[in-house]
Structure formats: C-alpha cells, structure tokens
Structure 1
Amino acid sequence: MTLTSTPANAPTRAGAATAASTRRRGAAGWLPVVPLLAFTAIAFGIPVVALLNGAFTVKDPATGATSYTTANLDASLHGAYLTALIGSVKLSAVCAAIGTVCGLLLAQAVVTSRFRALREAVLTASGVLANFGGVPLAFAFVATLGNSGVLTQHLHLRDKGWDLYSFWGLTVVYLYFLIPMMVLTITPALDGLRSQWREAAQNNGATHAQYWRHVALPVLAPSLLGGYVLLFGSAFAAYATADAIVGSSIPLVTLQIADALSGNVLVGQEHVALALSLDMVLVAGLVMAVYLPLQRRSARWLA
C-alpha cells in the first residue's frame, strides 16, 4: 500500500491563494465605482476647493496681490450679512416645521386610504409639485394672491391683513412645494410601520393617541427629522422664487450672495459672497450631523 504525503506548506499556499483571490475580487468590485468617484470629485470637489480658496482670499485693489485671511468670514457674520443669514435660517426653520407636520398628516391620510387610485394620484401630484418652483411659481402666486391677484380681489384679502410680499406670504409660497416633498419623503416610512405594533398596543389598552405618542412617532422620529432636514435645505437654498416675489424687502442670505456677486450694493464683495456660501454649507452640515445618527436608528426599526 502506498501512502501519499501532503506537503507541510500546503495550507499556507491555499491561504495565500485565497487572500490573493479576495484582493482581486475587491479590486474588481471597485472598478465600476471609479467613474462615479471621478464625477463626484470633479462636480463637487473642485467647487468646494474654489469656495474655500475664495472665502479666505483677499485681493489688494491697489497692487492686485492676494493674501489669505479670515476677514471675509468675519464680514459675513456682521451687519446686513448676519441679518440675512438669520432671516434665512428663521424662514427655513418655520417652513420646514409647518411642511413636516402638514406633509405627515397628508401622507398618513393617503397611506390609510382604501382607494389605491387616490394614493397614486396624490403621490404623482406630489412628485410634480415638489419640483415646481422658481419664477413660474412666483408668477402663479403673484397672479393669484398678489396685491391685484384674483383671489386677493375676490376675497378682499388685503382688508384682512394678507400680504404676499411678507415673511408669511413667502412661507405660504414655499409650502406649495415643501409639503409635497414631505409627502414623498415620509410615505415609505409610514408604509414601514407594522400592523402588529398597532394591534399589540390596542391589545394592551392603548388608545390611538397613545399608540402614536409611544410607538409610531418614536419610530418615525428619525425619518421625520430627515424630512425636516430636506425641507430646511430646500427652503434655505431657494433663490429664484424669493427674488421674484420679495426682492430685497426680506433679508435672505441667497439674495445677499447674488447682490454681492453682481455688485449691486458694494463693488468687490465677491469673496464675501463665497464666505456667505461657506456659512450656508456649515449650517447645512450642522443640521445633517444631528440627522445621521438618528437615521441609523430608524433603519434598524423599519428594516
């Protein structure tokens, strides 16, 4: 009988071959992502670098020499620029809060409806209205609810204190596209609420309000906050609608950036405009820092 011996280093060779195969599969898995990473680096990386460079650059008008300083950031946090930044944060926070509540109620009504056609109609309309903004939206509201608008004249709204060209008037305009956006955002999360949770709460004697307070809302809280962040960002970055309706009557940071870039107020404030843009990025980053941890928690419950 012949005995076949196995080399002592065979397991080592097998392990090395497996590791090499794993590395090759990992490298091959990264290849499809390379175009996306390249596009991201070009489309987002270059503007971010230009923004940071311009925000910290000051040009001497006499010699043309440039130097790096924090003077632009300091200027963006004082005077009219600070007022505009606070005004944008306030407007965005109010619009996002109202849009989140109204969008949640509308989405819940759609999700619990027995009519599938109603659900599809509302979601389709929300997809259209969520992307309807800019000058066309401003024109529609001016023609409808402006000082000489159809409804303003017919319902005598000016006698009741209505003013489209005010803070609350602009809030109503923003809600036109923010509420549909919230409906699209929160509907999948509402679909993820399991019927067993409601049944278990009812079997334990919980009322409808107690179910929402102790079960549904805690589970939906990260999704609601995510929707709030999305609505806040949309309102915070809106420019064309506000510019067409209120112009400079309401201080907003996007309008201040446009004025600084075009030199409507002061000449040579382009770098201050970039500093204001950096302030907007920082505000959005702070809001996202609150949202991301809660989103991971929501994913575990709704999975």
Structure 2
Amino acid sequence: MSSAIPHTSAQVETSTQKKPKARRIFHWQAALCLVPFALLFYFFQLAPMIWVLMNSFVYEGDVAITHYSDILESTFMRQAFSNSLWLSFWSSVAGLVVAVLMVSSLRRVPSRIRNAVIAFTNMSTNFAGVPLAFAFIIILGVNGAFTLLLKQYGFIEDFNLYGKWGLLTLYIYFQIPLAVLLLYPAFDALEDDWQAAAALLGASTRQYWQRVALPVLSPALLGTFIILIANAVGAYASVYALTNGNYNVVTVRIASLVSGDLFLEPNLAAAISVLLMVLLAIVTVVNQWLVARSYHGKA
C-alpha cells in the first residue's frame, strides 16, 4: 500500500512560480510565430496602402488635392466608378440569391452529391482571369456556341458579350462559387427540426424562411454580400481580357495609368485607388452597422 507524500510549502511555491514562467515562454513563442505574418502584412498590405495614400496628394512635385478634384470633375472617371459599382452591386445580388438557393438545396441531397458539388465549386473559384474570358468568348461570344443556339431557336435576337450585360453575366459567374463557399458553413446554424416545428405551428415554407431562417442567416448574408462587392470591384484580368480595356471600369483605368502605352500618371492612379478604398470602407461600415442591428434585434 502506497503512502501519500506530503508537499512542503517550498515545493508548492516553486511549482506555482514555474507555471507563470512557462506561460510567459509560451506567449513569447506564439508571438515569434506571428512575426512572419506581420512582416508579410506590412510589406504587401500596409506599406503599399501608405505609399498610395501619400502619393495621391503629390501633384507636379507639390502637395495638393488636384488629383481628387480632377477625378470628381471628370465625367469619364465618374462613369468608371458608376460602371464598377453597378456591376459589383447587381452581380453580388444575383450571385447571393443563386448561392442561397444552391446551399439550401445542398442540405437536402446525399452527402456524395454534396461533396462533389462543393469540390466543383471550389475548383470554379480558381477559374478566372484570361481562361474565364476565353471560355465566355467561345460560349457566349458573337459566334459563340450557346449564342448561336439561342438565336437559332429564337430565344434572343442579339447578345453583346462585350457590353455591360455581357460583363454582368461574367461577373455573376465568378461570384456564385465564392458565395456558395462562404455561405455553406453558415447554413449549418439552421436546425432541421426548426422547419418541422414551424410547420407544426402552421407556418408555411415562406413564413419559415421569412421569420426564422433569414434572421438567423442575416449576419452571414450581409458579410458575404460585402465580400462579393469587394471581389467584383477589384476584378481586372477577366474584364481586361474580354474587352481589351475598352470598357470603362475603375480597375482598367488604374491599370492604364500605371502601365499605359501613351502616358503614365501613377499619382492619379493612387488617388483613384484611395477613393475606391474609401467607398469600400463606407460599404463595410454600413454592413457592420446592419449586422450589429440584426444581432441586437435577435437579442
């Protein structure tokens, strides 16, 4: 029979001193692991933003707001912002609606089909840029296979892939996979028993979604909507490859000012970038306010 070994007060004090010391060492090790991420964040996120902000006020060697006044007074630049925001907003709305329908349907299918769809969606998010533009030209171009088929059966008379409606179709395509991947985990918050309980209480499917599901999903829906807008506003490669830079959007204008063949105005491009960041910041603040209200309403 083993006997318990009594602990002296000195031993207890020593053990209690070792625990804070070990905890401090662990905290330092965790902090050191964050150093590479902090360096990457500074050099590739923070430093470029600071450079863009500072150089946006440089005009012919002096500090001025001339670039901002030129942008606000230019009809051409206002059209670029209008086109970008129009494409971003409606493609985000359409992509979000389609994604909600897809994700809600995926909850009702077998796991094998669900996993296959999610894997295909994950692959589709990486299909962008020049390959995506080339695929759309083959399918929906002037002589595209699908365009000719729709014309043959009289569904359409003409479809301009290189105009705003064609670009909207392109934007919606690459918005849907991202929205599905972002919303898929959020739908796990919905319990299957909720809809059955609502049905027992006499609620229809529409009332269940209006009164139960959508209020629960509203923070995720709003957050996904903001990410989709930012994703669409920053799109460049697909738009440029499809239109060869002939459609007036903000990203194409910025690129033409820093890598154009005629003239280079990096400071003006920096001012446009700052205004674009301000717009996205405003949208993000509004989104956070709406999310906070939704949480407060549910509380």
TM-score (norm. length: structure 1): 0.83
Find out whether 1:98 has 2:94 as its counterpart: yes
2:3 maps to none
Structure-2 change in CA distance of 1:268 and 1:165 (3 Å): closer
Q: How many angstroms apart in 2 are the aligned matches of 1:92 and 1:104?
A: 18
- Identity score, percent: 31
Q: How many angstroms apart in 1 are the aligned matches of 2:171 and 2:242?
A: 11
Residue type matched to 2:93 in 1? A
Find out whether 1:139 has 2:140 as its counterpart: no
- 1:58-207 alignment to 2 at 5 Å? 58-59=59-60, 66-79=61-74, 80-113=76-109, 115-156=110-151, 160-207=157-204
Residue type matched to 1:168 in 2? W
Unaligned runs of 5+ in 2: 1-8
Q: How many angstroms apart in 2 are the aligned matches of 1:69 and 1:213?
A: 51
> What CA RMSD, in Å, does the superposition of the two structures yield over aligned residues?
2.9
Residue type matched to 1:167 in 2? K
Tell me the secondary structure at the aligned position of residue 159 of structure 2: coil
- 1:1-303 alignment to 2 at 5 Å? 26-59=27-60, 66-79=61-74, 80-113=76-109, 115-156=110-151, 160-264=157-261, 267-292=263-288
Show CA shifts across 1:216-247 (max 9, x none). Answer: 00111111111111211111111111112223
Q: How many angstroms apart in 2 are the aligned matches of 1:251 and 1:107?
A: 34
Residue type matched to 1:69 in 2? A
Show CA shifts across 1:149-206 (max 9, x none). Answer: 1222233279523211111111111222211111111111112212343233223221
Residue type matched to 1:144 in 2? I
Q: How many angstroms apart in 1 are the aligned matches of 2:24 and 2:111?
A: 49
Asked if 1 retains the 8 angstrom alpha-carbon contact of 2:87 and 2:171, the reply is no
Residue type matched to 1:89 in 2? L
Asked if 1 retains the 8 angstrom alpha-carbon contact of 2:84 and 2:233, the reply is yes
Tell me the secondary structure at the aligned position of residue 34 of structure 2: helix
Mean CA deviation greater in 19-28 or 104-113: 19-28
Q: How many angstroms apart in 1 are the aligned matches of 2:160 and 2:16?
A: 75
Q: How many angstroms apart in 1 are the aligned matches of 2:291 and 2:35?
A: 27
TM-score (norm. length: structure 2): 0.84
Asked if 1 retains the 8 angstrom alpha-carbon contact of 2:83 and 2:248, the reply is yes
Residue type matched to 1:289 in 2? V
Asked if 1 retains the 8 angstrom alpha-carbon contact of 2:167 and 2:239, the reply is yes
Unaligned runs of 5+ in 1: 1-5, 60-65
Q: Across the two proteins, how many residue pairs are aligned to each other?
A: 283
Asked if 1 retains the 8 angstrom alpha-carbon contact of 2:139 and 2:147, the reply is yes
Tell me the secondary structure at the aligned position of residue 208 of structure 2: helix
Asked if 1 retains the 8 angstrom alpha-carbon contact of 2:95 and 2:175, the reply is yes
Structure-2 change in CA distance of 1:299 and 1:28 (3 Å): farther
Residue type matched to 2:35 in 1? V
